[in-house]
């Protein structure tokens, strides 16, 4: 389908349609959505051509639209057509239909001026951030296109752990279609000799647009100013989704002395957010979290997590004790890893936080933030944070990833695949596969599952990219010493699929489609440090462009995992957001009395909705 130039051009210019159509968009959107939905599902090239003809005839009713199409067609180069990133027509237009009409979008490119090397004794290092109307040849930042809304400020956050900030770490740019933005200047003073990275986060209207990173050296000897080398990196944005009520940025710097966790909280409708004092870690975070997962695994097996280490024997415990032990883990995470200022703010605003959405954007791989169990001197929340709020995570970019993707606001189940090997000997895997096949049939989703889940079949399936949603139910394993090369999903005949398989053609297919991945397999939600940054399934899939990743962080029981899955999908079909659906899945799995309900980690936008959940008649699930 990507070889058809009409389809490629339509997707490229479709974000401009509402602004170009103006008052005619209301009458045009419905018929256009119907044709593009049909086009997206059609596999026959001849039938695709006929639908394309109908689309162009419809565009001709609005001169500005067909003129824009003709303009792009004249510039189209078949040899570069594959470089146009295409997602889902349905997602794009359903978002236009269900939201208020979009204001004309402004396209801006990030331009950052930053030296490549600085002297430790420099009193001030200035970094200048601009948003330009076109590519800027001399920018030190990776090339990034931001799709923005006019007159709404863009918040730019800087995170520079090896520098002292000499001014505010978050500043706003106000845009207008008639002028280029004035520059922002961040003044820093270097603190130690090292190779350092500086992160930049871009937010508009409380929506996280994306992040970028620059690397520079703080040298012990005096150096002359050296410019950064230019790297081609594009920032993809949505710009029209419902923002999360709260966004918590968590930065981890393992190389600092001592290692630090830094927190910055943004609340919807507020300007610059709140920065909290760094949390200095006195021991290894890796050792700390490994001990947590050891205890959680023991609880999953119904064993006292303390006696093996102290008494040298395994002692069974009952369900009530397991639940209380889980509560203790969550409360100690809150006590030990959340800054006191943030604890105090939550205590003051507990009622305002309840049932709201929270997006945690973090660059550390180990901490199970979902388990945080808020409490104070005179109060204890009845549930952990993942049940108090609609919670999801997202990752910041890695310097080894060329593309940067924001969490999608619209998800699709239209083309769904279930990969559940028949030889796992897991009693609930066959139930899970049968439920999902019936679910697809009931809601008229296309079943694109590979015929047999062998390694070759699954690899070819992933390379073809004809899927919007992939659900895998099988055994999983995590190896912290090599999280990308040895953390496996076990396919038919005990063949392994690892994050190293998500490369080249597979990664290209994921970038085109931005599909969702649910990995219902033990431990595969866990990450670790690899040779050049975060490693594991989450970082590899999210870094390749996946719109959603959901998986457990530790071993789970297959019966509870099945109940979690069933409840989550039913909730999605009823029109709930993905974070609400995962929350419902946790509540259902919790009835079993084991820790499975807490194991799942969701990487997505918490307010993301299924574009297939609603038709003109109402929810599909009704």
Q: Length of the chain in residues, anyone?
A: 622
The token duo for 200 is 């930049």
How far is residue 364's CA from residue 87's CA, in Å, rounded to a whole number?
29
Find all residues with CB under 8 Å of 587, minimum gap 6, and list them. Answer: 387, 567, 597
Q: What share of the chain is helix, strand, coil (3-state, %, to 5)?
A: 35, 25, 40
Q: Where are the domains of the chain?
A: 5-98, 105-240, 285-357+366-390, 404-619
pLDDT digits (tens, 9 = 90+) for 355-402: 999 999 988 778 999 999 999 999 999 999 999 999 999 987 654 555
Write down the pLDDT at residue 77.
Answer: 60
Residue 613, classed as helix, strand or coil, is coil
The token duo for 198 is 């500086």
Q: Which CATH class is domain 404-619?
A: alpha beta
**How many other CB atoms sit within 10 Å of the CB of residue 577?**
24
Query: Is the Cβ–Cβ distance between 318 and 253 less than 8 Å?
Result: no
Sign of CA dihedral 279, 604, 274, 195: positive
Query: Is the Cβ–Cβ distance between 214 and 141 less than 8 Å?
Result: yes
**Packing angle, helices 63-75 and 45-59, rounded to 10:** 130
Low-confidence ranges of the chain (pLDDT < 50): 1-2, 80-86, 98-105, 230-239, 399, 482-485, 523-535, 613-622
How far is residue 472's CA from residue 429's CA, in Å, rounded to a whole number?
10
The token duo for 265 is 């909280």
The token duo for 219 is 């040298």
Q: Up-side HSE of residue 395: CA atoms within 13 Å toward CB?
A: 32
**Packing angle, helices 5-13 and 45-59, rounded to 10:** 40
Query: Is the Cβ–Cβ distance between 603 and 392 less than 8 Å?
Result: yes
Q: Which of 69, 64, 53 lies closest to 25 in space, CA to CA? A: 64
Task: State how far the alpha carbon of 579 is from the alpha carbons of 206, 275, 391, 514, 604, in Å.
Answer: 18, 25, 6, 18, 8
Task: State how far the alpha carbon of 3 is from the alpha carbons of 78, 79, 175, in Å.
Answer: 8, 10, 37
How far is residue 289's CA from residue 337's CA, in Å, rounded to a whole number?
11
Write down the pLDDT at residue 247.
Answer: 96
Residue with the two structure tokens 């609400």: 580
Max Cα–Cα distance, the chain, nearest Å: 80
Q: Which of 166, 170, 167, 146 lies closest to 158 in space, CA to CA? A: 170
Residue with the two structure tokens 């871009």: 202
In terms of DSSP bridges, do strands 105-113 and 145-149 run parallel, antiparallel, or are they unpaired? antiparallel
pLDDT digits (tens, 9 = 90+) for 597-609: 999 999 999 999 8
In angstroms, the first-to-last Cα distance of the chain is: 33
Q: Which of 336, 357, 327 lies closest to 267 in space, CA to CA? A: 357
Residue 72: its H or E element: helix 63-75
Alpha helices in 574-613 (DSSP H): 578-590, 596-599
**CATH superfamily for domain 105-240:** Immunoglobulins (2.60.40.10)
Q: Which of 247, 214, 219, 208 lies closest to 231 in space, CA to CA? A: 214
Would you give the distance in Å from CA 378 to the centre of its chain?
A: 36
Q: Which of 117, 101, 126, 24 lies closest to 66 in space, CA to CA? A: 24
How far is residue 372's CA from residue 362's CA, in Å, rounded to a whole number?
15
How far is residue 547's CA from residue 303's CA, in Å, rounded to a whole number?
37
């Amino acid at each position: 389908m990507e070889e058809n130039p009409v389809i490629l051009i339509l997707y490229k210019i479709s974000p401009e349609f509402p602004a170009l159509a103006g008052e005619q968009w209301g009458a045009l959107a419905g018929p256009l959505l119907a044709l593009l939905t049909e086009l997206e599902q059609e596999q026959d090239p001849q039938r695709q051509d006929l639908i394309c003809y109908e689309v162009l005839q419809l565009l001709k009713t609005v001169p500005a639209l067909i003129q824009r199409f003709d303009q792009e067609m004249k510039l189209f180069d078949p040899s570069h057509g594959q470089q146009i990133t295409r997602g889902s027509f349905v997602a794009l237009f359903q978002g236009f239909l269900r939201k208020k009409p979009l204001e004309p979008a402004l396209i801006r490119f990030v331009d950052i001026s930053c030296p490549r090397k600085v002297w430790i004794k420099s009193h001030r290092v200035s970094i200048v951030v601009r948003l330009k109307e076109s590519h800027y040849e001399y920018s030190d930042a990776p090339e990034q296109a931001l799709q923005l809304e006019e007159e709404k400020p863009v918040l730019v956050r800087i995170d520079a752990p090896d520098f002292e900030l000499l001014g505010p770490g978050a500043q706003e740019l106000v845009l207008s279609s008639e002028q280029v933005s004035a520059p922002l200047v961040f003044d820093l003073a270097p603190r130690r000799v090292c190779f350092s990275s500086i992160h930049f986060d871009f937010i508009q209207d409380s929506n996280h647009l994306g992040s970028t990173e620059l690397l520079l050296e703080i040298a012990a000897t005096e150096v002359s100013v050296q410019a950064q080398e230019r790297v081609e990196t594009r920032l993809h944005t949505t710009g029209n989704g419902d923002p999360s009520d709260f966004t918590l940025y968590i930065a981890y710097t393992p190389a600092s002395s001592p290692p630090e966790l830094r927190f910055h909280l943004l609340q919807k409708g507020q300007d610059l957010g709140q920065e909290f004092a760094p949390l200095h870690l006195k021991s290894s975070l890796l050792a700390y979290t490994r001990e947590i997962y050891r205890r959680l695994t023991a609880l999953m097996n119904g064993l006292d997590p303390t006696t093996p280490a102290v008494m040298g024997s395994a002692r069974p415990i009952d369900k009530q004790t397991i639940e209380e032990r889980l509560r203790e883990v969550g409360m100690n995470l809150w006590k030990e890893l959340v800054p006191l200022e943030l604890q105090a703010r939550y205590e003051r605003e507990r009622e305002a936080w309840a049932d709201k959405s929270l997006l945690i954007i973090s660059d550390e791989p180990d901490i199970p933030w979902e388990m945080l169990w808020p409490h104070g001197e005179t109060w204890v929340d009845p549930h952990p944070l993942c049940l108090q709020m609609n919670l999801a995570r997202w990752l910041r970019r890695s310097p080894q990833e060329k593309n940067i993707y924001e969490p999608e606001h619209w998800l699709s189940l239209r083309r769904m695949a279930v990969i559940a090997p028949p030889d796992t000997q897991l009693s609930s895997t066959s139930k899970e596969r049968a439920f999902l096949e019936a679910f697809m049939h009931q809601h008229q989703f296309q079943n694109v599952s590979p015929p047999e889940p062998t390694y070759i079949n699954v690899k070819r399936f992933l390379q073809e990219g004809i899927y919007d949603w992939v659900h895998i139910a099988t055994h999983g394993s995590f190896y912290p010493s090599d999280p990308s090369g040895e953390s496996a999903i076990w396919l038919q005949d005990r063949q392994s699929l690892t994050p190293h398989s998500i490369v080249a053609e597979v990664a290209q297919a994921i970038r085109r489609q931005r599909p969702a991945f649910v990995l219902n397999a033990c431990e595969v939600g866990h990450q670790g440090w690899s040779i050049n940054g975060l490693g594991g399934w989450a970082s590899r899939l999210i870094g390749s462009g996946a719109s959603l990743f959901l998986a457990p962080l530790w071993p789970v029981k297959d019966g509870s995992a099945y109940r979690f899955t069933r409840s989550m999908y039913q909730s999605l079909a009823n029109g709930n957001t993905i974070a609400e659906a995962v929350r419902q899945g946790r509540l259902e799995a919790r009835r079993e009395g084991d820790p499975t309900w807490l194991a799942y980690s969701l990487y997505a936008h918490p307010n993301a909705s299924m574009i297939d959940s609603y038709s003109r008649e109402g929810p599909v699930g009704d």
